[in-house]
Amino acid sequence: MKLKLARTTLKAKPKIIALKKLEEDLATQSIFYFDKDNSHKELKAMIEHFEEQGFSVYMREVKYGLDENEYIYEVHIIA
């Protein structure tokens, strides 16, 4: 499974990260920001994957502007 990380600027394209890479990054960080272009179904599948491995996962939408489409997903993955 591949997910899109949040854009660093409004004009940038989101970077793609594999689920395997996320697992490796859990050793150094527990909060990830994902782009709004990810489908809700993909994010739920990622959450279920980590919960099956015994992690606690919390996801929320973070608004960064006044427009309805200006948001990212914040995901906390805790051992």
Residue for token digits 């994010």?
Answer: 43
Q: Which domain holds residue 52?
A: 2-78
pLDDT value at residue 65 = 87
Give the pTM: 0.90
pLDDT value at residue 10 = 82
* Structural domains in the chain (count): 1
Burial of 71 (0-12, 13-18, 19+ CB in 10 A): middle
Q: For 12-67, how does the pLDDT look when each residue is reduced to its tens digit (9 = 90+)?
A: 999 999 999 999 999 999 999 999 999 999 999 999 999 999 999 999 999 988 98
With 90 as the cut, is the pLDDT of residue 79 above it?
A: no
Q: How many CB atoms lie within 10 A of CB 77?
A: 22
Cα angle 73-29-77, degrees, rounded to a multiple of 5: 55
